[in-house]
């Protein structure tokens, strides 16, 4: 019995050192060496201060900014501590009501825009933290943003096209990071004001 107990304790100690200390240290070291920005949260720094992460969406509600996807996190949108989807099925009345409310909000913010509302502007992602929208969702907002900023639509549309990123690897869709787009918009507005 004592021999079995010692063997079990020895294995516990070995596995604790290997998989509780050595393996996490190796993975952390490799992450810092090979993927430093991603391993540290892909923080975007402007003027020496962090303004957000390229991996987590932020709330933009001013008409002069591009808006991201809806967020289903609580108690507030884009709460990384409460990452979750809405878990509402496509026939759920609560989801349908939320989508109708979001469509109405977008139409009210840009009454002259009769284009179909892109689905990613009215539905939340699975995590509720998605920082990206489709190029169509960004282009849908060009008129509102251009009018609010006093810019020509063609200039804002070109800015959107410059911010389109390709798929990640073999899979995925083309996308626009909302924070990066809004930061580029701020830089553009400053140069246009000169």
Model confidence over 2-28: pLDDT tens digits? 889 898 899 999 999 999 988 999 898
- Please give the pLDDT value at position 150: 93
Q: What is the pLDDT of residues 111-128, one digit of tens each?
A: 999 999 999 999 988 888
Q: Are residues 97 and 53 in the same domain?
A: yes
Q: Are residues 138 and 164 in the same domain?
A: yes
Q: What is the pLDDT of residues 148-180, one digit of tens each?
A: 999 999 999 999 999 999 987 788 889 999 999
From CA 11, how far away is CA 115, in angstroms rounded?
A: 64
The SS3 call for residue 125 is coil
Q: Are residues 49 and 3 in the same domain?
A: no
From CA 181, how far away is CA 89, in angstroms rounded?
A: 31
> In terms of residue numbers, what domain contains 75?
43-193
Q: Are residues 118 and 146 in the same domain?
A: yes
pLDDT band at 101 (very low <50, low <70, confident <90, very high): very high
User: Percentage of residues in the chain with pLDDT exceeding 70?
Assistant: 99
Q: Are residues 93 and 35 in the same domain?
A: no
Q: Are residues 6 and 71 in the same domain?
A: no
Q: Are residues 52 and 9 in the same domain?
A: no
- Please give the pLDDT value at position 148: 95
Q: Are residues 27 and 92 in the same domain?
A: no
- Please give the pLDDT value at position 38: 77
Q: Are residues 73 and 84 in the same domain?
A: yes
Q: Are residues 15 and 49 in the same domain?
A: no
- Give the pair of three-digit tokens for residue 186: 């701020």
Question: Taking the model in full, what pTM does it have?
Answer: 0.82
**Residue 179 parent element (H or E):** helix 178-193
Q: Are residues 47 and 90 in the same domain?
A: yes
User: Percentage of residues in the chain with pLDDT exceeding 90?
Assistant: 52
Q: Are residues 102 and 119 in the same domain?
A: yes
* DSSP letter, residue 117: P
Q: For the chain, what is the domain count?
A: 2
């Amino acid at each position: 019995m004592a021999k079995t107990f010692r063997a079990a304790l020895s294995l516990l100690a070995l596995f604790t050192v290997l998989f509780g200390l050595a393996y996490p240290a190796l993975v952390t070291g490799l992450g810092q060496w090979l993927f430093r920005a991603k391993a540290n949260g892909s923080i975007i720094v402007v003027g020496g201060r962090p303004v957000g992460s390229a991996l987590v969406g932020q709330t933009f509600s001013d008409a002069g900014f591009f808006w991201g996807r809806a967020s289903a996190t609580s108690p507030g949108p884009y709460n990384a501590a409460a990452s979750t989807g809405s878990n509402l099925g496509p026939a759920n009345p609560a989801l349908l009501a939320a989508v109708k409310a979001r469509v109405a909000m977008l139409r009210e913010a840009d009454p002259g825009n009769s284009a179909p509302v892109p689905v990613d502007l009215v539905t939340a992602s699975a995590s509720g933290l998605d920082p990206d929208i489709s190029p169509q969702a960004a282009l849908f907002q060009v008129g509102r943003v251009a009018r609010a900023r006093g810019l020509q639509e063609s200039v804002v549309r070109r800015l959107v096209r410059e911010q389109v990123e390709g798929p990640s690897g073999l899979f995925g869709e083309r996308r626009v990071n909302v924070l990066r787009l809004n930061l580029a918009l701020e830089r553009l507005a400053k140069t246009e004001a000169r």
